[in-house]
Structure 1
Amino acid sequence: MEAVLPVPRETELKFELDANGADRLRATPLIQSVPAGKQQLLVSTYFDTPDRDLQKQGVSLRIRRQGRRLIQTIKAEVGNGSLLDRAEWESRVTSSEPDRSQFEGTALASLADAELVPLFVSRVERSVHAIRRAGAHIEFAIDSGRIEACAPTQGASAAPVSFVEVELELKRGAPAALFDVARELNRSVPLRLGLMTKCGRGYMLLDAQPAQISKAEGVDLDPDMSVRDAFQALARECVRHLVANAPALLERREVEAVHQMRVAIRRLRAAMSLFRAVLRDGQSEHIKNELRWIGRQFGEARNLDVFIADVIEPMLESHPGEPGMAELLDYFQPQRATAYDKVLSITRGERFAAALIDTLAWIEVGDWANETDEAHRLKLLRPVRKLAAAELSRRWRKISRKGEHLKSLPADERHKLRIDIKKVRYAAEFFATLYSGRKAGKRRKRLQQLLAGLQDSLGELNDMAVNHQAEVQLTRVEGRGGAAVARRRAYAAGMLAGHQFTKAEPLLRTAVKDYGRFRKAEPFWDK
């Protein structure tokens, strides 16, 4: 039997910096305390097929000139969704064209005969430092570079992309040391956790695309996967979802980016709730608190987005002659701008960066995942399908019990019910691939539709309660024009309140009907 060779792995953390971040980082006590860094000029050409088959498969191929040496590197995403690890194959070559003889045994084995063309070139000035920490050897690199398209390929006329990034690569030792170094550096210069590779930046250049909005992606859980591996896979995706939307927020104050970042945080908190029985350690409470803090900071901006877009602007369009409506918009738009200023400042700041570093460290190497207690270890190693069925059943019963009195529930209790519904909806998404049969699939889709309808109806009712507080605030604030402006605003606020009141009863009736359908729906999991 032929031996299967282990796939070479690259374990690293990648961060993005502002233009002046590199100089500030070099001046930190940690970098000043290690030997002077080695300076390198790296020129890398990236290849793909004309149809971009490598990009579609999550694989990259480059040839890098480093001094007199030419290094061919193939990288591929690993199957567990890790944000730290990638498969990597490196070999010395003698030509600036890909050496196909080195494809065997790599992620490019199936494309050995494919046409490959150069697409873009990165030119990077790299400063490399060696850091030793707790028995680990870490390579710390600051890259200042630019990426240009290769003429005459698609995008050749696009402006080059410049960037500054930091890589912490584990050469030897435990991954926990990577996070320790990242925390120390972040206390001096905020490090924005980055997912964009140089190859990814190159494809964005070719497509002339700004930073894109990213939505939550499904995770392919196997029924025999352990509880520990399943939670790590789901939590990694939530962190990816959060981090992937930060560039669009920072570049252009993208409204949808704020929404998606809040969704990512909620999904991660929901996953932590589902797996809470195995996440009890001294670190988890800190992670929960930091995630709550981030969610609150983004909440004000999101609430104002919804209030302006879904309430004020439609009313202004339907009542164009009402001066109070325009004054409401004039009143709330500066508040939203201020809320976005705060969100951007937080996203660029040390605490946000530290929260992401701590969260990712906890997911990957937290105490919960390395518990030596035998009973806890057995919980971590049991099949995730058993946990999924127990949690889905328990939460199903909870919603069924609370929803029986939905029509008479006060607003705060309806809001709590909506949160419970949202968690079950996320759980159904998280565990979808564990129940992939045709009948289970149909039942799951039906349940998710009902949960989505319930969540939307209760969400609108909750938005009305939040908006009412804003409307009350308006009646107490005088602006330019004194009492006359205040009266017009108060009148317009009353119109808004009346309009919302007429919507409340139909929404509640819809929610009650959706709850009745939910009670009759059949579970898609093993009860």
Structure 2
Amino acid sequence: MSVEIERKFRLPEGGRIRALDGVTLGAGDELSLRAVYFDTPDLVLARRGITLRRRTGGHDEGWHLKLPGEGHAREEIGAEILPGASTTRVPHLLRSHVADVVKRAPLVPVARLDTARRETPLLDEGGTTVALLCEDQVTVRRGTEEHAWQEVEVELTPAGHEGDLDAISRALEAQGAQAQPATSKLVQALGSLLTQRTEDQPRSAAQVIGDYLATQVGMVQAMEPEVRADAPDAVHKLRVACRRLRSVLRVYRALMDAERTEPLRTELKWLGEVLGGPRDAEVLRERLHEGLDLMPDEGILGPVRERLATELDARHAAAHAAMVAALDEERYAGLLEALTCLLTDPPFLPGAERPARQVLPRHLDRATRRVSMRWAAACAAKRPEKMEFAHEARKKAKASRYAWEAAIPALPNAERAAAAWKQVTESLGVAQDTVVSRARLLELTAAAAEAGEPTFTYGVLYGRELAHQDDARGVADRAVRIARRASRTH
């Protein structure tokens, strides 16, 4: 971390600095700089006086995070631009320094500044560079908007001190330069956006859905370090964010450009499958150890705990390693780019600009009908196919649940409906977990038998899982009926 001390000035129209009393102007350098500034969609960082940028060109290429200091001073934290790295993937180091401010909101490009700079070293009588004089022609672009201005910055070098800066400031003012507030280029670029107030008016479907998508993209960005470190529940949270994104893009797809959203759904499905390996291993380990804990000691015959710990821990470790390798792939980097574009260039069609309370209900009705059809098929199916149909119903119920979650700001019954569908997905989730655990128990039983170990305990655990499946289906049937009633939109 370093401390940046600088002052800003504006020159008269057509003004140019030729000489300054008390310092010598060294050989100037012409630079072309491009800085892309990142912030949350509602500009939380800029409102706090914090800037985060990715700069190319000049002597300090890289990522820069600037935090407010005292007076004209700012603390600066940098990170290098890695070869081949995504241009929109904020380094985890920098995000960690603003985590208490942004929480788990997404960080996306909010402005691009191109600067034509003339940088001149200012030397004292001994020839030491005490400051840098930067004469900037700045052009800012936000979407299709563009405007430009000129400014002068004087930045102290490590060899300079406040007295040098005061003397240089007086010399500039003597040439007609006007001192300016210590306002970042980003704040100047954003202008009135930082003071706009949200009007109390009906929100469009695009706004409601867009806010929900932004929350999930932020979760994907924020959870990656914890997922890599195998922090408790981290994989589950990231996987749920992927499901929420896929579900909302599916249920409300008629409101969006499918050529953009369908490929994104495919990539989110891939990431969900990658995360599924370690997550399924976590759930399996928890379920089987819980089953053992509920059994009396006399029912545990042989080294069951040891075998469960050894084999299930190994399975989880292998799945986690494979997941981390996938997060290092270009495919994952491309997915993060696409998620950023989802927010900076939303894919909504004109129909999504209508009020959400008018637009969303019919899409939610369709989602409810899809669950009802799958659940009816599951109830009518014979036992071998029953869980397969129930699993399909569970996936449709998840889509309905998350679509209702997205609609909470717009529809009065959305929170109740989302909670009702959550009960459906959780009960069917328990039933599906028993399918996975029983299959694994059969493998463990075979391995124990081959090693000459007792297999009784594995059979007891298998029976317990089968009973849980039947119980969960009964709970799910009641939950589906309740959720359908809660989801009525008219």
Structure 1 counterpart of 2:341: 361
Q: CA deviation digits over 1:8-50, x for unaligned, max 9?
A: xxxxxxxxxxxxxxxxxxxxxxxxxxxxxxxxx951xxxxxxx
* Unmatched 5+ stretches in structure 2: 10-36, 107-197
Structure label with greater radius of gyration: 2
Q: What is the 5 A alignment of 1:281-360? A: 281-316=258-293, 318=295, 320=297, 321-322=300-301, 323-360=303-340
Amino acid at match of 2:322: K
Q: What is the 5 A alignment of 1:470-489? A: 470-477=440-447, 483-485=450-452, 487-488=453-454
2:423 & 2:436 partners in 1: Cα distance? 20
Structure 2 counterpart of 1:426: 402
1:418 & 1:127 partners in 2: Cα distance? 43
Equivalent position SS for 1:65: strand
Q: CA deviation digits over 1:449-500, x for unaligned, max 9?
A: 332222111110011112222223334557xxx8225x54x54432221111
1:388 aligned residue (349, 353, 360): 360
Structure 1 counterpart of 2:79: 164
Structure 2 counterpart of 1:502: 467
Equivalent position SS for 1:245: helix
2:430 aligned residue (457, 460, 464): 460
Equivalent position SS for 1:193: coil
Is 2:55–2:62's contact at 8 Å kept on the other side of the alignment?
yes
* Unmatched 5+ stretches in structure 1: 1-40, 44-63, 71-75, 89-105, 109-120, 132-138, 151-159, 167-184, 206-210, 370-376
Is 1:421–1:455's contact at 8 Å kept on the other side of the alignment?
yes
> Residue 232 in 1 paired to residue 204 in 2?
no
Structure 2 counterpart of 1:65: 5
Amino acid at match of 1:65: I
1:161 & 1:343 partners in 2: Cα distance? 33
Equivalent position SS for 2:57: strand
1:194 aligned residue (90, 96, 103): 90
Is 2:401–2:419's contact at 8 Å kept on the other side of the alignment?
no
Counting aligned pairs with the same residue, the percent is 19
**Structure 1 position 259, deviation (Å):** 0.4
> Residue 142 in 1 paired to residue 62 in 2?
yes
Equivalent position SS for 1:433: coil
1:204 & 1:453 partners in 2: Cα distance? 32
C-alpha change, 1:325 and 1:265, in structure 2 (3 Å) is same
C-alpha change, 1:468 and 1:231, in structure 2 (3 Å) is same
Equivalent position SS for 2:62: strand
> Residue 451 in 1 paired to residue 421 in 2?
yes
C-alpha change, 1:77 and 1:142, in structure 2 (3 Å) is closer
Amino acid at match of 1:504: Q
Paired residue total: 362
1:445 & 1:189 partners in 2: Cα distance? 40
Is 1:325–1:492's contact at 8 Å kept on the other side of the alignment?
no
Is 1:195–1:243's contact at 8 Å kept on the other side of the alignment?
no
2:56 aligned residue (117, 123, 129): 129
Amino acid at match of 1:292: K
Amino acid at match of 1:469: A
Structure 2 counterpart of 1:242: 220
Structure 2 counterpart of 1:82: 41
> Residue 413 in 1 paired to residue 340 in 2?
no
Q: CA deviation digits over 1:56-93, x for unaligned, max 9?
A: xxxxxxxx424x669xxxxx998xx628x6674xxxxx
Structure 2 counterpart of 1:36: none
Superposition TM-score, scaled by structure 2 size: 0.62
Is 1:464–1:500's contact at 8 Å kept on the other side of the alignment?
yes
**Structure 1 position 504, deviation (Å):** 2.2
Is 1:241–1:264's contact at 8 Å kept on the other side of the alignment?
yes
**Structure 1 position 164, deviation (Å):** 2.8
Structure 1 counterpart of 2:371: 399
**Structure 1 position 432, deviation (Å):** 0.8
Is 1:222–1:433's contact at 8 Å kept on the other side of the alignment?
no
